[in-house]
Amino acid sequence: MSVVDQAQPEPAVAIEEIRRLNDAYIKAARDADVEWFREHMAEDALVILGDGRRLGKQGFLEATGNTSRAFRSLTVRNVTVRAFGALAQVDADAPWELVEGGAGVSRYIDTYAWLEGRWRVVSAQITFLPAGA
């Protein structure tokens, strides 16, 4: 069976796969792992950053590779994954702390689509939560 012939997983399986991908996504964000994002994002993916910038895949890869921030920690909590046939969404809160001292919580929602026999990120939106939220 080729990649394009692979059947879309059942919802329960999809949810587990997306949970694993979410963990890998957070690790890739923490480590500025451009190659992970290159492999797991659709070519026409859109990312809306916490400061409101809209980036396509190439812009996001460049921003990720050129970042000067270094995370002391980046974790997730309150993760919810929902499957809608060939689409799935994950939303969660991501508490973070930077090596140079900043800290906060980002709330995000990532949308995955079943494309060419695998889940790929098609959009992501990050919102910075106010202090104490």
Decide: helix, strand or coil at residue 49.
Answer: coil
Listed residue (97, 103, 89) closest to 131, CA to CA: 103
At 133, the pLDDT band (50, 70, 90 cuts) reads: low
Structural domain for 108, as ranges: 3-128
Residue 72 lies in a domain: yes
CATH of the domain at 37: 3.10.450.50
Average pLDDT, integer, range 18-24: 98
Asked if the structure places residue 133 within a domain, the reply is no
Q: What is the pLDDT of residue 69?
A: 77
Tell whether 23 is covered by a domain.
yes
Picking from 3-7, 14-18, 60-64, which range would have the lowest pLDDT averaged per residue? Answer: 3-7
If you write DSSP's letter for every residue of 26-38 in order, what string do you get? HHHHHHT-HHHHH
Q: 39 lies in a domain? A: yes
CA gap 34, 130 in Å, rounded: 28
Q: What is the mean pLDDT of residues 82-106?
A: 95
Percentage of residues in the chain with pLDDT exceeding 90?
84
The verdict on residue 57 lying in a domain is: yes
Answer yes or no: is 97 within a domain.
yes
Please report which confidence band the pLDDT of residue 131 belongs to, taking 50, 70 and 90 as the band edges.
confident
Task: Report the domain count for the chain.
Answer: 1
pLDDT of residue 4: 46
Mean residue pLDDT across the chain: 92
